[in-house]
């Protein structure tokens, strides 16, 4: 995987239709106590100093993306349970 690429989120379970209908609401709305996780901002390609830091800013971004994908999967499962969706989400590959 390219360090700056966003992984294909198609492997994640689908968002329930009732939730999709409500996504027009802003995530910071006062009634939204469980906002959808947001992906970490990718570091600028020129932000790397090129001196082999350990960890490199790109390594830190990869770890943040892993955490984001786990949080997104958990959030989708919570939303499905909250809406009474009987679809059992499949786990992410990898």
pLDDT for residue 44: 93
Residue 5 lies in a domain: no
Please tell me the total count of domains within the chain: 1
Residue 72 lies in a domain: yes
Distance from C-alpha of 16 to C-alpha of 13, rounded to nearest angstrom = 9
pTM for this model (two decimals): 0.56
pLDDT for residue 93: 43
pLDDT for residue 73: 96
Residue 31 lies in a domain: no
Residue 70 lies in a domain: yes
**Range 34-60 burial, b when 16+ CB lie within 10 A, else e:** eeebeeeebbeeeeeeeeeeeebebee
Regions of the chain with pLDDT less than 70: 1-32, 85-94
pLDDT for residue 76: 94
Residue 24 lies in a domain: no
Residue 38 lies in a domain: no
pLDDT for residue 22: 62
């Amino acid at each position: 995987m390219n360090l700056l690429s966003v992984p294909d989120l198609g492997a994640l379970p689908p968002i329930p239709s009732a939730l999709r209908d409500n996504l027009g609401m802003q995530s910071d709305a006062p009634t939204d106590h469980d906002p959808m996780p947001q992906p970490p901002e990718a570091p600028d390609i020129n932000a790397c100093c090129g001196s082999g830091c350990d960890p490199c800013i790109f390594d830190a971004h990869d770890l943040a993306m892993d955490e984001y994908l786990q949080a997104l999967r958990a959030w989708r499962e919570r939303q499905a349970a909250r809406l009474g969706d009987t679809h059992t989400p499949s786990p992410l590959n990898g």
